[in-house]
Amino acid sequence: MTNPAVTNPAQGAAEPAVQTVVHVFQELLGVAPIDADEDFFELGGHSLLAQQLIARVNARLDTRLELAALFDGQATPARLAGLAVEGMRAPSRALVVLRGGGAVPVACVPPAGGDLVGFHDLSLALDPSCTMWGFAAPPLPTPDAAQGVAELAALYAAETERPGVDGPLVLLGWSMGGLVAHETARLLAERGRSVAHLILVDTYSADVLPQDDDFGIAEGLAEQIGRLTGRPIDPARLRGRPLDEVLRAARAIAADAGVDLVDADWEQLRRSVDLVRAHVRAAREFRPGRFDGPVTLIQAEQTDAAMRAAAFDVWRSACPGLDRPTVLPGDHFSLFRTPDVYALASVIAAVAGRQQAYG
């Protein structure tokens, strides 16, 4: 099986572009000096800083890099400058390489908002033999545009049917991404494409969640702002508020913490929140259909036990191949972060390893 999207930026990118990216690294990470071959995440970068990094590089080099450019172990100034010098635009394909390997690929669908950077710790924790792909949600054409579960599933299913992307496939979806992964698996099965295994990670349908639940928008945004500013943020300050109010609150929190955010940062955050909200609207309207293939349901131990049980009942009726849930230490977000991510990686590697042995 070939890699679906491997980019080879120009070697020896123009030095001014490299230095521009180095300066952005230094601004965001507060570290100097930084070499052109040092990795963003190894220097302390995280998901919200990653969004700022891409926003600032795009603004200063007049390019349109996407977050997926930070994966495959090459989140360095030299690589990003090389991509920018080549004039790369938004990727034409939704399926991108998160890390190479040799085993059956695990194709990951991110939560609402399509943030592939959330899979970074998992890409490092997985067994080296595992191949890991990610599905990147396309940007919205307008802030209030819709992007439904069925629409994303159709796009992702088409990506797995391209020439060179063949053989057994493990689909993994986290949170709202589990709804999309499930629908993608159903579409592929209908078309005769074998799905080796479906892994749903802390995925809850609208029937299970409280009526006023926002699928973790407030919690996720509060966590991101908290990590950026170094201050804990109460999600209640953000829940249910209009986008402009949320961004104003975030600006005030950042200013109080002495964090300097430029216009490009806020525009990137606005686009991210718009996409999250579009996905949440889609999740509220979606009800899972039947998928007869093998399924693993992973749930976070710190999620409410009654909600976990209700979710299992929903998935058991939609997925006859589901036996019992696998409950792992951590909460909805920490499942994908060190150290809790190692337990998750172990389960995924075992599933992928079984498919490799049987294949």
pLDDT in tens, 142-184: 988 999 999 999 999 999 887 777 778 899 999 999 999 999 9
- CA nearest to 200, candidates 91, 326, 297, 302: 297
Q: What is the SS3 string spanning the chain?
A: CCCCCCCCCCCCCCHHHHHHHHHHHHHHHCCCCCCCCCCCCCCCCCHHHHHHHHHHHHHHHCCCCCHHHHCCCCCCHHHHHHHHHCCCCCCCCCEEEEECCCCCCEEEECCCCCCHHHHHHHHHHCCCCCCEEEECCCCCCCCCCCCCHHHHHHHHHHHHCCCCCCCCCEEEEECHHHHHHHHHHHHHHHCCCCCCEEEEECCCCCCCCCCCCCCCHHHHHHHHHHHHHCCCCCHHHCCCCCHHHHHHHHHHHHHHCCCCCCHHHHHHHHHHHHHHHHHHHHHHHCCCCCCCCCEEEEEECCCCHHHHHHHHHHHHHHCCCCCCCEEECCCCCHHHCCCCHHHHHHHHHHHHHHHHHHC
Average pLDDT over residues 24-39: 92
Q: Is the pLDDT of residue 331 over 50?
A: yes
The pLDDT of residue 117 is 84
The pLDDT of residue 4 is 55
Give every strand in the sheet of 106-109, ordered side by side: 95-99, 132-135, 106-109, 170-174, 197-201, 295-300, 326-328
Domain boundaries of the chain, sorted by first residue: 1-90, 93-216+224-231+253-359
Q: Are 247 and 277 in contact (CB under 8 A)?
A: no
Q: Which residue has the higher pLDDT, 220 or 345?
A: 345
Say which CATH class 1-90 falls into.
Answer: mainly alpha
Burial class of 11 by CB neighbour count within 10 A (0 to 12, 13 to 18, 19+): exposed
The pLDDT of residue 115 is 81
Average pLDDT over residues 104-126: 89
Say which CATH topology domain 93-216+224-231+253-359 has.
Answer: Rossmann fold (3.40.50)
The pLDDT of residue 335 is 96
- Determine the Cα–Cα distance for residues 209 and 42; give it in Å rounded to an integer: 36
Please determine whether the domains at 1-90 and 93-216+224-231+253-359 fall in the same fold group of CATH. no
* 238-266 residue pLDDT tens: 777 776 777 777 777 777 777 777 777 77
Q: Is the pLDDT of residue 195 over 70?
A: yes
The pLDDT of residue 243 is 67
Average pLDDT over residues 1-14: 48
N residues, the chain: 359
Q: Which residue has the higher pLDDT, 63 or 313?
A: 313
Q: Is the pLDDT of residue 228 over 70?
A: no
The pLDDT of residue 298 is 98
